[in-house]
Amino acid sequence: MPKITMLGAGSGFAPRLVTDIAHIEGLAQSEIRLVDIDPKRLKIIAPLCRKIMDLCGREKWGLTATTDRREVLAGSDYLINFIEVSGVKTVRLDNDIPEKYGVTQCIGDTIGPGGIMKALRTIPSWLEILGDAERLCPKALVLNYTNPMSMMTLAAVRASRLPVVGLCHSVQGTSEHLARWLKVPYQDFRWRCAGINHMAWFTELTYRGKDQYPRLHRICQAPEVYEQDPIRIETMWATGYFVTESSGHFSEYVPYFRKRRDLIRKYCRPHYRGESGFYARDWPKWRRDVDAHRRRQLAGKAELSLRRSHEFASNIIEAVEKNQPTVIHGSVLNAGLIPNLPAEGVVEVPVMIDRSGLNPIRFGPLPEVVGALCRSNMAVYELTVQAILEKDAEKVYHAVLLDPNTASVCSPAETRRMTDELLKAERRYVLPWTQSRLGKGRTVAKSVGRPAGKK
């Protein structure tokens, strides 16, 4: 009987994943354990998950809900993480302070100033969770959904002995998206994809043995197609390969599309297609709306979907419990899986799952043009995780300094001021060591290589 603990259960993932797990055929018994530090959200999500389980014919499955993870970690076989640390309280700061310096973000939760600040808030709690898990459920398989995905996974593989995989839906979502554009049956569509989370690349697209990239290039020239995903299409035309993440997210990972207002007007579109400040404005409202919708679902006044989704968590549990090998795409330690990316970094590659757990599959080198783009992001991830593990505030600045979007508009001195301002503004939400060296870089800069009286 697998015991499955979900951390941050008040998020949008829990009902979907409970539904998915309830669809695993042959899983006669299971126990779902929900953890959230917000008791109000827990009081909504627990009865909703119970209702889902009952409607799926899992009335005998156990369900526990608690605000104290230590009550339920013991004996857990799977930990599924989707915690959010101070997000609603800081999302405007993550967006608005960089915007003063010309750094615009659409989402701002995986890289750039927003993603780095989110890592500083989230990873310390994440490492505490993993520390508890090592003591209380040392054989558990850990599945992480929380962004910044690459940094969360990198910190885990550096600091924990537990097997950890980072899970997203961009690979399966984009492959389905491309099959629709190409009008080919998904079950017959063949592709290879790897890179890093939110920047994995479809290096091959074939149908019945024929390369589909020439067709895709032609299809994307149609305005009605182009307008759906301008930045990803422009990137494909530039590099030759289609990337896994949305235009809005991807615009933040490269220096090409957000550095001037005219470029934002030309390439960015509303919402997830690149709108500046989109997440900061809409996310707090989404959270309120989700809670209200869940109350309506509990009352039978809103539809409750019982379809299995394409999220990978239930596929992993099914493969392990039934020793039924399957392949997912996940974020894991590279260790040579993609030879032209840093071996000690985290990459997103095919992973075979069976009773033995995680078995990453060697992908081989990426085309150098997209490999270089991945490496530019991996440098930011490396420095951020080093900063957190070593409690080194200067490396926070170095991480922001190397961020491609920030570097496209800010000088080193401007980046320093922006980083200092973010750390000061969010000092209630990050650990004290982040405040230790604020402003020291400016003091040095004023005394070296600059004539007196000049600015």
Active site (catalytic) residues:
169
Angle CA 440–441–447, to nearest 5 = 95
- Which pair of structure tokens corresponds to residue 356? 């033995």
386 contacts: CB under 8 Å, gap ≥ 6: 392, 395
> 26: how many CB neighbours lie within 10 A of its CB?
8
Report the distance separating Cα 164 and Cα 79, nearest Å.
9
Burial annotation 394-410 (CB, 10 A radius, 16+ → b, else e) = ebbbbbbbbbbbbbbbb
Q: What DSSP string describes 32-58? A: EEEE-S-HHHHHHHHHHHHHHHHHTT-
338 contacts: CB under 8 Å, gap ≥ 6: 194, 195, 347, 349, 363, 364, 365, 366, 371
Torsion of CA 9, 112, 226, 173, to 10 degrees: -30
Report the distance separating Cα 120 and Cα 141, nearest Å.
24
Q: Are 314 and 340 in contact (CB under 8 A)?
A: no
Q: Are 322 and 299 in contact (CB under 8 A)?
A: no
163 contacts: CB under 8 Å, gap ≥ 6: 141, 142, 357, 358
